[in-house]
Amino acid sequence: MSEQLERGLETLRGEIDNKVKAFFSSCVRCGICAEACLFYTETSDPRYTPIYKTEPLRKLWENEYSFWGKLKSALGMSQAMTEADLADWEELVYDGCSMCGRCSMVCPVGVDISGIIFKVKHGLSQAGFSPEGLVGATQRAVDIGSPMGITLTTVQAMIKHVEADTGLKVPMDVEGADYMALLSSNEIALYPEYLESLVKIFDHAGVSWTLSSDAFEATNAGLQLGDKSIAGQLVQRVVDGAEKLKVKNVISPECGHAYTALRWEGPNFIGKAYPFRVVHILELLDELKAEGRLKTSGQESERLTFHDPCSIVRRGGINAQPRNLLGAISGNFVEMADHGNMNWCCGGGGGVSSNERAHELKLTAFNKKKSQIEATGAEALVTACSNCRTTLEEGVESNEMEIEVLGLTEMIAAHLEERPAS
Amino acid sequence: MIQYLIDGPLWYFSLAVFFIGVVWQLIAVVFTGNKADLSVPRDSAASGAIKTFFSRFVPHREIAPAIMLPVVAGYMFHLGLFALLFFAAPHVVFLEENLLGFGWTPMPHWAFIVAAQFAFFGLIVLWLRRLVNPVSRLISTLDDHIAAILTFVVMLTGCFALLEGSTGLRLLHRFTVELWLIYFPFSALMHTFTFVPSRMLTGAWFGRRGVDA
Ligand code: SF4
Ligand code: SF4
């Protein structure tokens, strides 16, 4: 057995906890989870059945933890797991799963299937069975600090533009600020309007905030790859940055997986609780609105619909906030048929969008979103995750759809109530 | 001799395997380590666990149309089997005399027939679906088929035993029950019990994140 395979199997063994035992011993192989997964519904390929994606871990559990596996092993009849048992699943797990978690909502016996898929990713990443694009992005995140190779100089250049456009100062390395904001790679590279919006909104609401030159990026390629150790290193950078500046709160950018990495998995990755609170930007905007510090004016008249980023809503619990915010600025908001906790993924989550090999499959999976959007008759599609936004824009473009894709934070910034001149 | 074996030692052996095996497996699930979650919860894990335990009895509206067949067949089978197991007249008498020391009103004969039809119909549909549906066929294991066939045989011999009333058929039924009990703790049949911690663990996870699951 190769060293890499042994490392992968050892990692998988380490992932077998009481949940895995409860899940595998209760799965009745009904296949209901397939109907919740866009990679299955849009391809009709049974290999994309969610629980089938967990097969490497199930096989290991069966071989080493179940009665029959132990009996076979005692009789010298068990079949050892091979490289193929892992290699054959690389495509299913990395290309054919966006970690959207919809399958985990429907299983009649309560299996958290996407939770197990993440465990499988961890094993595959340690055995060296992960897509090149994602491995490269993760390496850049470790070496340079960003999966897209973005450096502090790039951010400083963006800040200059934002300051020139808004006439407002972007606070950098302010010790003792209430909030430390983070950006995702996409927000730096593709959507500088996000930072511009933050500057305007925080100025409007009188929020004490800062960026950190040590920790400006929240994108966590380690989480997408399934490598918990790298994910932990990337989270630790943010924690160190926040501790250095002694901030009370850290603001997660819109980006869904960055939020998951920072808010929910981060403390577990680094093995300790944070000395600060993590708040998603939508949560913060909703709080500011409820406190009367964020006042909007005017309403969009065009028909809007909202795409819930899976990691924010279904895996993150942020459901009412975007609706409260949209309600304030739109008089013509319409929900998709399946929205909120049961929304359909755009197809680009879980590292799929950083995985070039998965491009065609991602566009096929997008057909689900396409039909959902078309059914609403909306003229603009609002979302709150830069990764979803690029996937949606790509899908809209390649399907020649007539719909604009917008970011929610920017929309709020565009509707800020003018303050009387003092 | 065979009657003595089936009514005596084999019966006690199968009961012992069943009870010890089930408890053993449940202990393995409940007491295996699970790292504490260090993130700050948004909401209560306990209420999430309870909510999800109940919510999964009903399919989500968004996917219900696509899964009508397994859901309806699943309910027919499980409810039918439950009624047969605990309310068929010979079972009530048997449980009273051999295990519990008290009994309850059994279901009338017509209800037995209806329950048996539900259970048979549900089980056959689920098993056929396992064979012909590409998804279920791909993910099903040998264990799933053995569990389905064994359960079917137990139900069939039970019906024959009740309708014919012969000792031979009664013994055959009891023998298949004993095989079923011995197989139970080491098979997919364990979902009868493990679905409870499974739903609750997932519900607790969603609950602390503030997600209604
Ligand atoms: S829905 Fe649940 S029980 Fe059914 S196959 Fe999927 S994981 Fe197993
Ligand atoms: S997490 Fe989403 S994409 Fe992955 S298997 Fe489940 S439903 Fe499919």
> Is pLDDT of B33 > 80?
no
Of A109, A323, A286, A34, which is closest to residue B201 (Cα–Cα)?
A: A109
* pTM of structure: 0.95
Neighbours of A215 (CB within 10 A): 23
The region of weakest confidence among A82-86, B64-68, B179-183 is A82-86
B202 vs A51: CB contact, 8 Å cut-off?
Answer: no
* A247-295 residue pLDDT tens: 999 999 999 999 999 999 999 999 999 999 999 999 999 999 999 999 9
**What is residue A44's predicted lDDT score, i.e. its pLDDT?**
98
Domains of chain B, with CATH numbers? 2-30+64-199 (1.20.950.20)
Name the phi and psi angles at A183, rounded to 5.
-125, 160
A31 vs B143: CB contact, 8 Å cut-off?
Answer: no
Q: Which of B22, B39, B57, B71 to mutate to test the interface with A (most CBs of A within 10 A)?
A: B39
What gap in Å lies between CA B206 and CA B200, rounded to an integer?
10
> Is pLDDT of A171 > 80?
yes
- How many contacts, defined by CB atoms under 8 Å, are there between A and B? 162
Tokens standing for B115?
């329950």
Tokens standing for A98?
């966006």
| Percentage above 90 pLDDT, chain B | 92
SS3 letters across B119-172: HHHHHHHHHHHHHHCHHHHHHCCHHHHHHHHHHHHHHHHHHHHHHHCCHHHHHH
User: Could you identify the atom of ligand 2 that is nearest to the CA of residue A53?
Assistant: 5
Pairing mode of beta strands A209-210, A277-280? unpaired
Is residue A221 in contact with ligand 2, taking CB distance under 6 Å? no
Does the beta carbon of B151 lie under 8 angstroms from any beta carbon of chain A?
no
Nearest ligand to the CA atom of A47: 2
What gap in Å lies between CA A150 and CA A217, rounded to an integer?
9
Estimate the crossing angle of helix B68-87 against helix B109-132, to 10 degrees: 140
Interface of B with A in 49-78 (CB under 8 A): 52-53, 56, 59-60, 62-63, 66-67, 70-71, 74
Fold for A3-130, please state it: Fumarate Reductase Iron-sulfur Protein; Chain B, domain 2 (1.10.1060)
What gap in Å lies between CA B83 and CA A10, rounded to an integer?
46
Domain with CATH 3.40.50 in chain A: 144-290, 304-414
Q: Is the dihedral of CA A354, A356, A361, A363 positive or negative?
A: positive
Name the closest residue on chain A to residue B133, using Cα atoms.
A31
State how far residue B74 is from chain A, nearest Cα, in angstroms: 10
Nearest ligand to the CA atom of A352: 2
Element (H, E) at A407: strand A404-407
Fold for A304-414, please state it: Rossmann fold (3.40.50)
> Is pLDDT of A396 > 90?
yes
In one-letter notation, the amino acid at residue A62 is E
* B35-93 residue pLDDT tens: 899 999 999 999 999 999 999 999 999 999 999 999 999 999 999 999 999 999 999 99
A49 vs B135: CB contact, 8 Å cut-off?
Answer: yes
State how far residue A272 is from chain B, nearest Cα, in angstroms: 6
Is residue A102 in contact with ligand 2, taking CB distance under 6 Å? yes
Tokens standing for A208?
């004490």
**Protein residue closest via CA to atom 8 of ligand 1:** A27
What gap in Å lies between CA A236 and CA A267, rounded to an integer?
9
Of A107, A357, A314, A343, which is closest to residue B139 (Cα–Cα)?
A: A107
CATH code, residues A144-290: 3.40.50
